[in-house]
Amino acid sequence: MIRRAALALALLAGPAGAVEQLVSGALILHPEGLYVRYDARFPLGGGLSVGVFDSWQVYGNGVGVQLGWQADPAWIETHVDVSAEPGYYVQRPDDARIGPGIDGTADAADRAFGWRGVAAWQTQINLRSGGFWLYSRTTALARLRSFVEADTFQQQQVRHELALDQATAAMGRIAGDDAHAAWWIYGEYTVGGVLDVGTRPHRVSAGVIAERWPADAVTLNLDLFYSVAPSPLDGPGLIAAWWIRW
């Protein structure tokens, strides 16, 4: 969920010098998923910040630290997350096949406790002018395991997961202004790949963002997408996301 959670930093950048706390989450349909994440970020000056976070993802929980930097004004932001993810994962024998798809069953009886280590680097570009907003996000991720996992969410079997993806969105404001609640509509293209697995994600989407609504600290996002990733990840889907800061 690192990829989707990133928009929070662009939408909810706090005032300089203030400690920012953020609760974010998303409900995803196709593939089905749910996550909730808490962040606390502490400014160091010069655009640098450090943070801690806890990210719950149904069968696992990631606890980690973040080092970030953003320009002033915040048209570009980059950060590195490092975390440990204890959880109950669908595990396969050490000699299991690596690649797309899931072999055999993947029910509760196949889950066992394990650890995943994650390092992710992400850069975002936000170019806003009046009622137009161009957004770009690049993410590189390494997720290391001591076991072969049958990842039911991404429909892949992996041990050491190396992934890269890029998302680009063009947004237009349809109501509101920079100082108060605002509503945006957008179109987005997202494509990525996992080493030894293949293309995922790969989708086009359209959606609406309610910024600073229904309260100043809240932003909501409804995203409708069509995935052209390999089956069974292809087809229509939905993401409902939220961010609350204080």
| Per-residue pLDDT, 8 | 52
Domain boundaries, the chain: 2-245
pLDDT of residue 4: 52
- For 190, the token pair is 């997202």
* Residue 104 neighbours by CB distance under 10 Å: 11
**pLDDT over threshold 80, residue 11:** no
Topology of domain 2-245, CATH: Lipocalin (2.40.128)
- Mean of the pLDDT values across residues 171-191? 96
pLDDT at 36 over 90: yes
**Contact of 59 with 32, CB cutoff 8 Å:** no
C-alpha–C-alpha distance, residues 148 and 93, integer Å:
7
pTM: 0.90
- Higher per-residue pLDDT: 105 or 65: 65
